[in-house]
A and B are shown apart, each in its own frame.
Chain A
């Protein structure tokens, strides 16, 4: 019986890189200025057949083998039954080992608290029957909450160009690649 593992489906075909998800997350928790619990990254043009503006939106990947949990000297990280990687901020000593270890920039440093903080998959919203703030507020529906033990969507990938090797920590995210449309350039000469 595979363990329950919540995660995100990132549809980079639908995603328009608006950063609305980033801001919806900040608005939900009224997060301090610098920490970005969710971050939208531009995908490199050269990785695709023609230059386009495509993005991937990454928060915490709630990895099956979280690097943060492995390196934390005070055991601040734990993994829930549903796969969410939680951080007990009270325990955090601000050593930043997790920041160094995480391949995805998920742990973010809060200079006012001198501690790390990160996405916890809106566990309180989930408990109230809601979707995470980013998922709920994406205007184009580019983010979805998925349960990996139950997720069989074909045409999804484990990573996109620029996303660190998923074999490192087995992140609980799946991607839909952006399609590159047909381009007729008037300046091709």
Chain B
């Protein structure tokens, strides 16, 4: 630290030895928080010495982000003074991002939730502190009461998602399993349609090493915005550019990434499938297909080709997408004739009612040109290859005799509700109804579409418990809030769903106040439940967090990382020794073992067997303007934006609107405008920009401090076409949402 911060402040008082002894003892009796240090031992250093070296720890950013950065934490006197990127991380290369650099401000924000607290009545704002023991007592008693009344713990529902993607955080699921059969939110809001597509096509989501993008000659970034959402991939794209590669961005918005591309195609929102199919048609018609690859690796090419010939034409696609025919043709030709042509299929691309089909059509391009599995080429979406841990914390058995949903074979299961229709399904649940919610790693009310319905669901509960770090709408509508630790305050291990590196997360500082990790909470609940009713919870209570961490590792992971002991990760993150190109061995994980252009599995879920065009969503007369709600650059969902450093740079939400549209509504820069539809309305200041479509407005999904602004007040829980196969529930068509725009 420089002198600047300490200017004008005093140095500590120097020590005087003669003050020990009898006089001190009596005074010590009056102390409650302070205690005498055993001066005999040399455990504490007297006086100030701020030039002591730092203790440096390795951490991993556990947020829902492609990059999962390697972090170095600088701790002095038990205080995290600052963070830095870990230079040993080959993907994030020693750098964090605008959010990561604020971490010290997150850990030490005075607004952090510090103690277990209870609100009576719910929603009143009248909170009082309770001890952990009391909190566990209330919760455990409610669990047992529910079990008594309903004969099962099915009335207890968990909503959990991506607040922390550290492996040990799957303990929340484990904790729920260990009390009995419960109701779980099933599925994922972000990326399920594309997951299904890639599962139908290839049998799994499995992207090539993103570092390989540096070797591409053509990179098509389709419905992704890495400049905001995966900034560490940008240098690899840049490297490719510097070696002559061309970058094409396909997106309705001139995003930050589009601003760095050679070409930006402003496609009409939701028509991406048409563009991909037209490109495929061109490739077919002009004999650019890779016959050998298709013969050896693809099933269903004939059916797909027939479909293209019958249903697809460049002129049709030009009409649909709003892109000129010659542009479509040029793109197809460039793609087909460039060996190292890589497509990055983003998650925004599949947040549509036809999102899954969009991705299938794009995947098909890689298949018919034989680019899948080739250097610098392929269709990249996501991967879970590096996530093969043991999930001990997650896999727990319910107490024997537990009653759940009965399967045909007599075994029992949890009940599920669609995570993407959570509020409505919680309200509709019957036999038994849902009476209690456990929310962790999730901000249901702010981040789930249709805020009103979520609130109604919460209101109908007997007890809502939320584990969190800062106040938000979900906490506001809970009965009990439990303070959780930040990544610096507990051990864990992290993988990425994009790059191939695995990172340890060391505990760098003590948990603040009374914060506990999700793992510690599980053990505390188990202890209390078994105290009240022995055997009512199977979650192990006598294992330390570090031991839990050690138990996550298996031979598979060790082999993959080339280590013999997980402690080796303390010296630096390790890269999985997977082949650089996914699917280079042609061993697809589909039923046929090949790339399935024709997918039987898809038909089982009500989809056409082959990638087909599914009509895009359109505006109505009443709600003529599309509302796009992409990720914001200063936050990750409802995290970070509320921090003081972030608020200083970006203090209020804005709605991006094209000047032409603004003029029609007589809206000027900075005017307060209102977006409304059947669900409700939101208001924010207008920002006029030509980077958005003329028929849409862009409002970013982010949470602002001291504000209950949430785009989800007007986002409908419209399902996307796919998601059920691989993730259990269809996804969300976040971007197929329409509103009326007015000046306030």
Contacts and interface: CB of A to CB of B under 8 A. Distances in A.
B231 A20 contact: yes
Given A51-B254, A186-B267, A45 B4 contact: no
A58 B55 CA distance: 33
Contacts of B84: 27, 137
B258 interface: yes
Contacts of A18: 97-98, 227-228, 231, 256, 633
Interface in B566-596: none
A140 B648 contact: no
Given A54-B259, A178-B259, A186-B321, A137 B96 contact: yes
Interface in A18-56: 18-20, 22-24, 26-30, 33-34, 36, 45, 50-54
Contacts of A45: 689-691
B645 A184 contact: no
Interface in B458-494: none
Contacts of B138: none
Interface in B1-18: 1-2, 4-5, 7-8
A154 interface: no
Nearest to A27: B101
A124 B3 CA distance: 12
B32 to A, nearest CB: 31
B212 interface: no
Given A14-B238, A27-B101, A51-B254, A187 B633 contact: no
A121 B262 CA distance: 34
A20 B633 CA distance: 10
B467 to A, nearest CB: 27
A164 interface: no
B645 A30 contact: no
Contacts of B104: 27, 30
B535 interface: no
A187 B633 CA distance: 25
A89 B7 contact: yes
B181 interface: no
B694 A51 contact: no
Given A16-B256, A30-B81, A186-B322, A181 B648 contact: no
Contact of B691 (A30, A52, A184): A52
Contacts of B264: 181-184
A15 to B, nearest CB: 9
Nearest to A33: B644
Give the residue among A13, A136, A187 with the most B Cβ atoms within 10 A. Answer: A187
B300 interface: no
B374 interface: no
Contacts of A185: 266, 322
Contacts of A181: 258-264
Given A29-B2, A45-B689, A139-B95, A53 B234 contact: no
Contacts of B695: 187
A113 interface: yes
Given A139-B234, A140-B231, A17 B83 contact: no
B101 A30 contact: no
A140 B233 CA distance: 9
A134 to B, nearest CB: 11
B648 A183 contact: no
Contacts of B7: 89-90, 113
Contacts of B351: none
A129 to B, nearest CB: 15
Contacts of B2: 29, 124
Nearest to A30: B82
A51 B691 contact: yes
Interface in B642-656: 644-645, 648-649
Nearest to B103: A27
A154 B384 CA distance: 45
A93 to B, nearest CB: 14
A19 B634 contact: yes
B545 interface: no
Contacts of A186: 252, 266-268, 321-323, 693
A19 B649 contact: yes
Given A117-B4, A186-B266, A16 B101 contact: no
A86 interface: no
A138 interface: yes
Contacts of B741: none
A16 B231 contact: yes
Interface string A59-103: 000000000000000000000000000000110000000000000
Nearest to A54: B259
A22 B98 contact: yes
B372 interface: no
Given A52-B254, A90-B7, A23 B102 contact: yes
A141 interface: yes
A138 B213 CA distance: 20
Given A16-B234, A20-B101, A26 B4 contact: no
B255 interface: yes
A113 B259 contact: no
A178 B264 CA distance: 15
11 contacts: A14-B260, A16-B234, A18-B231, A30-B1, A45-B689, A50-B690, A51-B691, A124-B2, A137-B94, A141-B238, A181-B262
Given A23-B101, A136-B94, 5 more contacts: A30-B5, A50-B690, A89-B4, A117-B4, A185-B322
List 6 A-B pairs, minimum CB-CB distance, nearest first: A186-B322, A51-B690, A23-B101, A52-B259, A27-B101, A16-B227
